[in-house]
């Protein structure tokens, strides 16, 4: 798995993107700061975490994130390289068990 922070359009937001090899998907998470523990969930958007192959291209990832950030060409290249480096690596048994759990829980 890779994970990188990228600049957000809103400076209050934090955005992480990456490649999740066991789920074979790119992912993104947009969050905001939590002012106190009574607040709602700080996660604004979470993509690529609920099912295998949810987001299979960096172009799709960039399109979903467009309201929140622009992914630089360099980061797009890095994400493509991360996918290419791991795509032939099968999930470990623990990762496969987690994938099976996700599939059963839907």
> So what's the pLDDT on residue 35?
79
pTM: 0.84
The pLDDT of residue 98 is above 70: yes
pLDDT tens digits for range 5-44? 999 999 999 999 999 988 899 999 999 988 777 777 899 9
What mean pLDDT value characterizes the chain?
90
- What DSSP line would sit under the chain, residue for residue? ---EEE--SSTT-EEEEEEETTTTEEEEEEE---SSTTS--SEEEEESSSSTTS--SHHHHHHHHTTT----HHHHHHHHHHHHHHTTSPPPHHHHHHHHHHHHH-
Please tell me the total count of domains within the chain: 1
Residue 91 has pLDDT above 70, yes or no: yes
Task: Give the residue numbers spanning the domain of 55.
Answer: 4-105
């Amino acid at each position: 798995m890779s994970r990188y922070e990228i600049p957000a359009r809103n400076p209050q937001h934090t955005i992480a993107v990456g490649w999740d090899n066991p789920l074979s998907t790119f992912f993104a998470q947009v969050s905001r700061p939590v002012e106190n523990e009574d607040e709602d969930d700080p996660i604004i958007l979470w993509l690529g975490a609920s099912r295998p192959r949810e987001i299979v291209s960096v172009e799709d990832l960039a399109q979903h994130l467009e309201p929140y950030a622009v992914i630089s060409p360099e980061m797009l290249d890095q994400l493509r390289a991360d996918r290419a480096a791991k795509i032939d690596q099968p999930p470990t048994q623990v990762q496969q068990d987690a994938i099976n759990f996700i599939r059963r829980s839907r």
